[in-house]
Amino acid sequence: MKILNTLSLLSLAVIGSKAMKNISSKELVKDLTIGWSLGNTLDATCFETLDYNKNPIASETCWGNVKTTQELYYKLSDLGFNTFRIPTTWSGHFGNAPDYKINDQWLKRVREIVDYALNTGGYAILNIHHETWNHAFQKNLDSAKKILVAIWKQIAAEFADYDEHLIFEGMNEPRKVGDANEWNGGDYEGWSFVNEMNDLFVKTIRATGGNNALRHLMIPTYAACVMDNAVNNFKFPSGDDKVIVSLHSYSPYNFALNNGAGAISNFNDGSEIDWVMNIINSNFISKGIPVIIGEFGAMNRNNEDDRERWAEYYIKKATSLGIPCVIWDNGYFEGEGERFGLINRSTLQVVYPKLVNGLIKGLGNSIKTRTTVRKTTTTTSQSQPTNDNSCFSVNLGYSCCNGCEVVYTDSDGKWGVENGNWCGIKSSCNSASRNCWSERLGYPCCQSTSSVVYTDNDGKWGVEIGNWCGIY
């Protein structure tokens, strides 16, 4: 027993770690149902009105949204969302060449919000968003490459231990800003810029090693658009099965996005959505290339009934092709701008419940019924008397285990490990109801539920009284 201590504990540490699942992105996207974007928040920029040095995290609320909370993500999870895109602008939050060091306070705040999303048991997508340095002109390419590598190396290092529930998105709508070709699908200069930056992004993340060697990555077409010329000139990397195409589609345009002449408030024609889905299918899905529509939406025109029909139609079409969609919510409900607000982030009231209902109906049977998860870092254990005299190991110089997970058996008895030390399993643990794997991780066995709400490398998890528990 004593001889095996070091080797056995080392093996246990490997077995018990939160390892990255080695699955393809094509498999991963099957677990993504409906997504929500934290728009106009971490992506907000107020260079002219804020002193970023004085308050590095003030930009989160400078476009009018409130500070993001954990409860917002729990509410969204309750509604059925399990994928959370976190648009993040890094411009203004990093230093000069050659290091381009990201501000520590900003990186910490980004990580907090990523954790909010992941605490629901869902997925998070983290990107670089409204940047000032990656406009898709050839003259910018060399400097943009240096910044991209520096920024993504730091992000990758910060989240190196996170598992497959965290996805990195290399760029948001990279395009020739201010150019005549900005929104028309691009030209050779723009396509080449985006393809080179995408390739460098993938290589940069892979080179950081650890979990990032298996990290699922999203790369966009030019401007993330679905136009023929952008799609036809997009280069998808070969030999890497953990890459996803990132596309945006506010369709039909006049119903969903147009805020000027030609805008309509009635949804009676899904042909433009059909066209978009056919382009995606013929160029990507039919070739085994996974896609996430990272932005879509239809702005408020006091037409919630029509938006409900639109949402169901859009999601039903996408779901039939295995394409997860992430709705854009910028927190704006009224006014002359883009009114994509969905949930009031202060009160957590769903302002347009019919729209949400349309999204969920569009999923059909794809959405998984689940209990809302409230995962915390608080360590809990089974409440039971701890009496060293109640087990065999005390006479051998080892304490009794508080839990009942058996990791080794010898002629002396059954052994567990707690806090990195061997302990003896009490005789009271012989009851099958006391024997589950989660106790060695600091979580109790489930006592009254067998409903699985989350599965990872450790096992199947349930929730009781707001806390995680292990199902055996």
User: Going residue by residue through the chain (472 aa), what tens digit of pLDDT does each one get?
Assistant: 333 343 333 333 233 335 889 999 999 999 999 999 999 999 999 999 999 999 999 999 999 999 999 999 999 999 999 999 999 999 999 999 999 999 999 999 999 999 999 999 999 999 999 999 999 999 999 999 999 999 999 999 999 999 999 999 999 999 999 999 999 999 999 999 999 999 999 999 999 988 999 999 999 999 999 999 999 999 999 999 999 999 999 999 999 999 999 999 999 999 999 999 999 999 999 999 999 999 999 999 999 999 999 999 999 999 999 999 999 999 999 998 999 999 999 999 999 999 999 999 999 865 543 444 455 433 333 333 333 346 888 877 778 887 776 656 666 788 776 655 677 888 777 644 445 777 767 677 876 566 666 677 677 877 665 567 788 7
Please state, in angstroms and rounded to a whole number, the distance separating the CA atoms of residues 315 and 272.
14
Residue 176 CA, distance from chain mean position: 28
Residue type at position 279 = I
SS3 sequence of 89-100 = CCCCCECCCCCC
Query: Within 13 Å of residue 305, how many CA atoms lie on the same side as its CB?
Result: 2
Q: How many other CB atoms are found less than 10 A from the CB of residue 266?
A: 12
Contact 406, 422 (CB under 8 A): no
CA torsion 131-134-136-140 (nearest 10°) is 140
Query: Tokens at residue 146, please?
Result: 């240096």
Q: How many other CB atoms are found less than 10 A from the CB of residue 238?
A: 7
pTM listed for this prediction: 0.77
Which residues are catalytic, by number?
A: 173, 295
Query: Tokens at residue 299, please?
Result: 């702005």
Helices (H), 159-232: 188-207, 228-232
Burial zone of 158 (CB within 10 Å; 0-12 exposed, 13-18 middle, 19+ buried) = middle
Burial zone of 430 (CB within 10 Å; 0-12 exposed, 13-18 middle, 19+ buried) = exposed
Residue 432 is predicted with a pLDDT of: 40
SS3 sequence of 152-173 = HHHHHHHCCCCCCCEEEECCCC
Contact 74, 92 (CB under 8 A): no
Please state, in angstroms and rounded to a whole number, the distance separating the CA atoms of residues 316 and 286.
18
Contact 56, 93 (CB under 8 A): yes
Does 252 sit behind a cis peptide bond, omega within 30 degrees of 0 on the bond before it? yes
Does 174 sit behind a cis peptide bond, omega within 30 degrees of 0 on the bond before it? no
Burial zone of 1 (CB within 10 Å; 0-12 exposed, 13-18 middle, 19+ buried) = middle
